[in-house]
Structures are given as C-alpha cells and as structure tokens.
Amino acid sequence: MGFKQLINCEALLNTFKNKQLVKNSKKIQSLLAVVMLSGTNLVMAQSASTADSVTAAEKSDMWTGVAYYGMLFLVACLCVAIFGKILKVYDLSQKMQGKKGLNWNNIMGIGCILFLVAGLAGAIWSLTVQGSMKLPEAASAQGGDIDDMFNLTTVLTLIVFFITQIALFGFLFWYRGSDKRRAYFYPHNNTIEKIWTIIPAIVLTVLVVFGFFTWQKVMDTTPAKNDLNIDVTGHQFNWELRYPGKDGKLGTVNYTLYSGNNILGIDFKDPNSWDDLKADTLVLPVNHSIRINLHAQDVIHSFYLPHFRVQLNAVPGLPTFIKFVPTITTAEMRMKTDNPKFEYLLYCNKICGTAHYNMQRVVRVVSEAEYQDWIARQKPYLTDALKKELKLVGTTSPVLKQVPNRIALNN
Ligand SMILES: [Cu+2]
C-alpha cells in the first residue's frame, strides 16, 4: 500500500468516524448531561463530607442523593428489560418446538395488577411516613380553618385517587385481551355522563365556597382598636422588627430617609416614631390580635410563620398587611410537642438571594404580663448615634418636639 493510498484510507476512515459521531452526538450529549448531573451531586456530597461537623450518619446519607436514586431507577429499568427479554426468548423457543407460546395478554394484565399494588403501597407508605412529619397543631385562630380546608381537600382527593387507580388498573386486568370474548362497543351513556359531571361539580363548589369564606376571614386586615401593630421589614438577609412604644402607634417610614443609623428610614418628624422600639425576637402576647405591617427594602421577601399558617409577601414599595391571633404560647407548644427546645420561627419564603435560607427570627408567644415585661426592656430606634446624626445631641424630650423644622435638613 503506497503512502497516498494510506492517506486516502485514513481520510475515508475519518469521514466515516465523523458521520458516526454526528449520528451519535445527541446520544453522547444526553449521556454527558447524565454524567455531569451525577458528578455535580457527588462533588457536592464530598464537599459536605469535608466539613468537620459531619457525623458518620450524615456521611452515609450523602449517597442517598439524586445520583443514587437515578442509578437505582436505571437498575430497575434494566432488570425489567432483562426479564422481558428472557420471557421473549422462552416464548420463541416454545414456538420453535411447535408448542403454544406465552399468553402476553395475561402477562400484561398481571403486570398491571402488580403495578397497582406496588403504587398503592407506595402511596400509603408515603402518607404514613412523610405524613407523620407534618407541622404540629395550628398555633393561631385562623390556622385551624386553613388546616380544616387542607384536610378536607386531602381526604376528598384521596378518595378519588383510590377509586380511579383501582378502576383504571383493575379494568386493564379484568378486561385484558382474550380469544374467548369480543369487545363491546359502548360509545355513550347519559346517566354516566350526568354522574361524573354533577358529583365533581358539587364537590368543587363546596371546596370553592369553603375556600372563599376562609380566604375572606384570613385576609381581613381592617385595623381594629386593640390590634398590636408591628412593623416587619425584610432586606437581604434579615428581618427588622419595630414595635410601637407607650403611645401604641408606629411612626411613618420613608425610604428616602434611609441612612446607616436609620436603616428603616423612619420619619422622625412624626412624633409617633420617637418611642418606636427595636427588637431581635418577634414576641407576641397570646390571644391578642396582631397586625403585621410588611415592608421590603430590596427584593421581594415573604413573611412566613408556618406554625401559625401565616404567609404574605413583603414587596418593595408596596406595604402589605396581615392579621392573626396567636393561641398557643411557646411554653404550651413545648409541652404539646414534648420538645423542651421548641421555638416558633419566622422564615423568609421567597428565594431572595444567597443567604435566603438563613433569614430567620425566633418568634415567642407569651402571656400578656410577660409581654409587658419584655417590651419595657426594648431599646428605642432613636439611638444616641441617630440623635447625633440628626443634630439632636443634648436635646431632651420637650425640645425634641421642635424637631420637625430641624430634621427638614435631612430631606
Ligand atoms: Cu428573603
């Protein structure tokens, strides 16, 4: 073989390879995606395992990630495929020997029943195992209504789920293909049409009406005389809590007044703001109507109190309000949950940035007397540093009343 021929041969081989590559490129790309996904998962698992605090139990848990279940699924698919091929080979060999082959209709019918049993067992397992991890009893008055609605919807959907799944796979088994019977042509039945239109219509109407009244009750934020107004401001990545002072009124806020010392932009021209208090914990008196005024300073956050079944978005430039009545104190909930360290928590329920997961505050529900004792110990927003910034050093309360003109400088 001459040199030229060798070159030609190699070129031909390359063209062939390229064609094959183009053909297989989609397969290769999908395979690569799967490998990368598993790779990322493993890397993340490894980085978690390098942390000092990771215990042996947590290390074993790292394998039960996406890759583990993905692989398990692939292995299960492979087993089913191999079992199917074995049956097919057995079937062909029987036919080659002139014997009657396998009855595939029976095999598929039994497969459907096995799928039904496995699926229902999985659903019951999920309900009992995951279901037992649900939140404790609702700690607010309207939380009970929301739970009732949730439970009613769950029960109704479960009934429909069990009936339809058993009917679907049961019919696939009972009426599987057979030489002994012919399919019956049954195109229309008015009675059946009426039943499966009227029953869901009634059930859905009940759910919608129930939901409508519950929504009205939960979202009624009309201010009332005995409301405890608390300002909650979300920013990346914390919640700021502002309580009214002795006057029971919160001063107005204006974002243009924001400064390093006045992080809420409180308008100190408003006398109501002078005794506003800063708090680290959201302390709430039990059985007292709480009205939360929500603000956000950068992106949308979400004020989320899962134990009270309360959630509302905090939107920049749009104050939002929510009212609720806490009914179970932290001490009572510690007894109920048999957990002496139990704390209610305020979370952010909008993925608002990198440290979103850590945007939490402890919420403590206490008796009225404990609340009064706690609020008396909180520090005002109008700190010495702020007075200095607003040129109020040395001023006493009566002088402070002349503040408006002097603070005009700040605007
Ligand atoms: Cu947030």
In a domain, 30, yes or no: yes
For 27, counting Cβ atoms within 10 Å of its Cβ (0-12 exposed, 13-18 middle, 19+ buried), the class is exposed
In a domain, 84, yes or no: no
In which element (H, E) is residue 332 found? helix 330-336
**What tokens were used for 404?**
């408006």
Query: What's the CA-to-centroid distance between 157 and ligand 1, angstroms?
Result: 33
Nearest CA to 230 out of 309, 331, 326 is that of 326
DSSP E strand stretches across 136-260: 228-235, 238-243
Instruction: Map residue 271 onto helix, strand or coil.
Output: helix
Lowest mean pLDDT among 143-157, 198-212, 331-345, 384-398: 384-398
Average pLDDT over residues 195-220: 92
Query: What's the CA-to-centroid distance between 297 and ligand 1, angstroms?
Result: 10
264/276 Cα distance (integer angstroms) = 11
Domain count, the chain: 3
Query: What's the CA-to-centroid distance between 299 and ligand 1, angstroms?
Result: 8
Give yes or no: residues 270 and 136 share one domain: no
Give yes or no: residues 214 and 300 share one domain: no
Dump pLDDT digits (tens) for 82-136: 998 998 898 899 888 888 888 888 989 999 999 999 999 999 999 888 887 888 8
Query: What's the CA-to-centroid distance between 123 and ligand 1, angstroms?
Result: 34
Give yes or no: residues 13 and 133 share one domain: no
Question: What separation, in Å, do the N-terminal and C-terminal C-alpha atoms of the chain show?
Answer: 91
For 116, counting Cβ atoms within 10 Å of its Cβ (0-12 exposed, 13-18 middle, 19+ buried), the class is middle
> What's the confidence (pLDDT) of residue 405?
40
Give yes or no: residues 157 and 209 share one domain: yes
In a domain, 151, yes or no: yes
Query: What's the CA-to-centroid distance between 360 and ligand 1, angstroms?
Result: 9
Q: Has this prediction a pTM greater than 0.85?
A: no
Provide the domain limits for residue 121: 103-180+187-218
Give yes or no: residues 232 and 300 share one domain: yes
> What's the confidence (pLDDT) of residue 366?
93
In a domain, 309, yes or no: yes
* Beta pairing partners, 235: 238
Dump pLDDT digits (tens) for 236-264: 889 989 898 888 788 888 877 777 777 77
Please give the angle made by the CA atoms of 170, 171 and 172, to the nearest 5 degrees: 90
In a domain, 207, yes or no: yes
Give yes or no: residues 209 and 265 share one domain: no
In a domain, 234, yes or no: yes
Give yes or no: residues 234 and 378 share one domain: yes
**Token pair 């059946």 in the structure block, residue:** 192
In a domain, 175, yes or no: yes
18/122 Cα distance (integer angstroms) = 47
Can you say how many angstroms the Cα of residue 232 is from the centroid of all Cα atoms in its chain? 21
Query: What's the CA-to-centroid distance between 217 and ligand 1, angstroms?
Result: 26
Residue 170 φ then ψ, to 5°: -60, -45
> What's the confidence (pLDDT) of residue 376?
86
247/212 Cα distance (integer angstroms) = 37
Lowest mean pLDDT among 70-84, 246-260, 283-297: 246-260
Give yes or no: residues 384 and 248 share one domain: yes
Query: What's the CA-to-centroid distance between 240 and ligand 1, angstroms?
Result: 12
> What's the confidence (pLDDT) of residue 19?
54
Query: What's the CA-to-centroid distance between 346 and ligand 1, angstroms?
Result: 11
Give yes or no: residues 23 and 141 share one domain: no
Query: What's the CA-to-centroid distance between 294 and ligand 1, angstroms?
Result: 12
Q: State the CB neighbour count (10 A cutoff) for residue 146.
A: 19
Query: What's the CA-to-centroid distance between 238 and ligand 1, angstroms?
Result: 7
Dump pLDDT digits (tens) for 398-408: 434 444 444 43
> What's the confidence (pLDDT) of residue 42?
45
Rounded to the nearest 10 degrees, the angle between the axes of helix 3-50 and helix 66-96 is 130
Query: What's the CA-to-centroid distance between 351 and ligand 1, angstroms?
Result: 6
Average pLDDT, the chain: 81
> What's the confidence (pLDDT) of residue 260?
73
Query: What's the CA-to-centroid distance between 234 and ligand 1, angstroms?
Result: 6
In a domain, 289, yes or no: yes
Percent of the chain, pLDDT > 90? Answer: 40
> What's the confidence (pLDDT) of residue 44?
44
Give yes or no: residues 279 and 398 share one domain: yes
